[in-house]
Structure 1
């Protein structure tokens, strides 16, 4: 599997956020996002990076899931009428996955957490990202990345 550790700065996501569990229907969150975005906004958001963001909730008892788009600044969030979520800067363990997104995301994160992260002797922070590529997410040759924020890596900078 194609893996890497990459450092990435903080960024803002405009999207739909729900309290989630492992049994949450994440596709339904994406459906809700697309229902809330107007036809005019769909043209503008088509050029934005789509991400799914899993973060520990404020009480650290569960997690939230945000389906959304990376945007530049609060005005962009307000213009879309969505929730804004700041994703913290971090070192991320990443893996490229291929195949329909619904079938490849979970195995991608399982590989990161069971193999790659332990091999690198780092600790996951609980922040995980689904970084979507262009194209049809249901295609057999669809490619996207799974990212998991980690502690314990010395910055090369």
Structure 2
């Protein structure tokens, strides 16, 4: 559990468009996103180049991407990696490509374990802080694009740190 909201480290950053290679599926508030990560690694391991694919993503930035679906009736979640080579890297890895739009992002640093089969409460609390405290204080509103930007280290550690990003626009 995080400390009181007043201790959240928040910032605004501008970030350009980027491509994520991963696995994508419809998502809801009840979704357990760790299942997507298990599916991603399972997919990478398949086939004759599985070891090479796993080695190729080892140094890439891991991100979870929540985006409105095409008709804005729901959302999708993508567990994946930012790929510098764009679509050619997506194809080489045999994954789905998602283009994340350039935006002004509100960010917050959160700490806590990310465990398979569990919803990490610190992630929910971090996004809640951005949406109920930070964005209103800056007169910004979320666009519907949200990122989990995973840091280095052991994700199952209670001291694991990562950033949450929410794309914003002026209110």
Distance 2:121 2:169 in 1: 28
What's the counterpart of residue 59 of structure 1? 71
Distance 1:21 1:99 in 2: 22
Distance 1:25 1:142 in 2: 19
The CA deviation at 1:36 is 0.6
After superposition, the CA RMSD in angstroms is 1.1
Counterpart of 1:112 (choices 106, 130, 133) is 130
Please give the TM-score of this superposition, normalised by the length of structure 2.
0.87
Distance 1:74 1:58 in 2: 20
Give structure 2 stretches of 5+ with no counterpart: 1-7, 45-49, 115-119
Counterpart of 1:30 (choices 34, 37, 59) is 37
For this pair of structures, how many residues does the alignment match? 153
What's the counterpart of residue 80 of structure 1? 93
The CA deviation at 1:152 is 1.4
Single out whichever of 125-134 and 20-29 deviates more from structure 2: 20-29
Q: Give the 5 Å matches for 1:86-101.
A: 86-101=99-114
Distance 2:31 2:121 in 1: 15
Please give the TM-score of this superposition, normalised by the length of structure 1.
0.94
Give every structure 1 segment of 4 or more consecutive aligned residues whose post-TM-superposition deviation is greater than 6 Å: none
